[in-house]
Amino acid sequence: MQIYLPIAEISVNLFAILAMGGAVGFLSGMFGVGGGFLMTPLLIFTGIPPTVAVATGANQIVASSISGALAQWRRGNVDIKLGTVLLIGGVIGAVLGVQVMKWLRQAGQVDLVISLAYVTFLGVIGGLMLIESLNAIRCKAQAIVPKRKPSRHNWVHGLPLKMRFHRSKLYISAIPALVLGLVVGLMVALMGVGGGFIIVPAMIYLLRVPTNVVVGTSLFQIVFVTALVTILHATSNQTVDIVLALMLMVGGVIGAQFGVQAGQYLKGEQMRALLGFLVLAVCVRMAIDLIVQPDELYSLSPMLGGQL
């Protein structure tokens, strides 16, 4: 059953898109990740223009993050003050990222930049995840207990502009939080990812935010930043395809329920290893698409101003 996407300007198979949303939802439920860093490449593989894939991916993250943020809010796991500082940086990064996307579209280089960013990003993240998980499996098999000497203070605590965050019980500089939010805003705008798998470890290991507050505060920031990116892409670049987003949401909601159940049968290090392999597989596929010579070396497409 073919469905026409008005913004992407192509027809897609309804069941294929639902299956794609279900697959990413399954992975999200199993691994506890937003799935944006997998959804955008998969959409590109199916022929969706990269700009539409990025903007629509950000739109889907809004819906999937709201329920989680509300649940964390009810449990009191959201640091509003810290989340606001992250949000300020995120807004700056989002506005800058959307403008960069607009410049790249005008220069005709947006597809290449998005693909290169994903290859680099997925390669680094997937490699680090795989190495860490394999080391954890090896240590567990050999009954090795890693020695860890946690420190409550690092270079972050020596920076100026300190603020007191009562919910997180911290007195630290606002600069790292602003920079972290800015990076996440850029990632959402340019790559269509939520950035949770970057911001969560950074908040835990860099800012020393208590673990029970990290997820809720991260979701609080991500909801507003992704919503802003969606609006900016829709008004500035006209690249948000609501029809596509709705199909992905339906499949994602269904798939997530099965993913949560499947995740209960895997150990933590096994799940991280599988996710690392998956991320690297997507990275390799995108790298191949960049290297292999296309079937058609030349094509005609409308240029700016409506001229051929």
Predicted confidence at residue 303, as pLDDT, reads 46
- Whole-model pTM: value is 0.69
Listed ranges 13-17, 110-114, 219-223, 259-263; the one with the highest mean pLDDT: 13-17
Looking at per-residue pLDDT, the higher value among 63 and 43 belongs to 43
For the ranges 88-102, 104-118, 218-232, 269-283, the lowest mean pLDDT is seen at: 269-283
- CA-nearest of 249, 177, 185, 188 to 217 is 177
Strands 162-165 and 2-5: unpaired
Predicted confidence at residue 92, as pLDDT, reads 93
For the chain, the straight-line distance linking the first and the last C-alpha, in angstroms and rounded, comes to 33
CA torsion sign for 97, 100, 101, 102 is positive
Is the pLDDT reported for residue 221 higher than 90? no
Using the 8-state DSSP alphabet, how is residue 161 labeled? Answer: S
- CA-nearest of 220, 258, 190, 288 to 21 is 258
Q: Cα 127 from chain centroid?
A: 17
Tens digit of each residue's pLDDT (9 = 90 or more) over 168-179 = 787 888 888 889
Is the pLDDT reported for residue 298 higher than 60? no
Is the pLDDT reported for residue 97 higher than 50? yes
- Residues of 161-197 as b/e, b for ≥16 C-beta within 10 angstroms? eeeebebbebebbbbbbbebbbbbbbbbbbbbbbbbb
- State percent of the chain over pLDDT 70: 77
Predicted confidence at residue 104, as pLDDT, reads 82
Strands 162-165 and 170-173: antiparallel
For the ranges 125-129, 192-196, 200-204, the lowest mean pLDDT is seen at: 192-196
Mean pLDDT of 83-110: 86
Mean pLDDT of 93-118: 82
Based on the number of CB atoms within 10 Å of its own CB, is 129 exposed (0-12), middle (13-18) or buried (19 or more)?
buried
Mean pLDDT of 120-124: 81
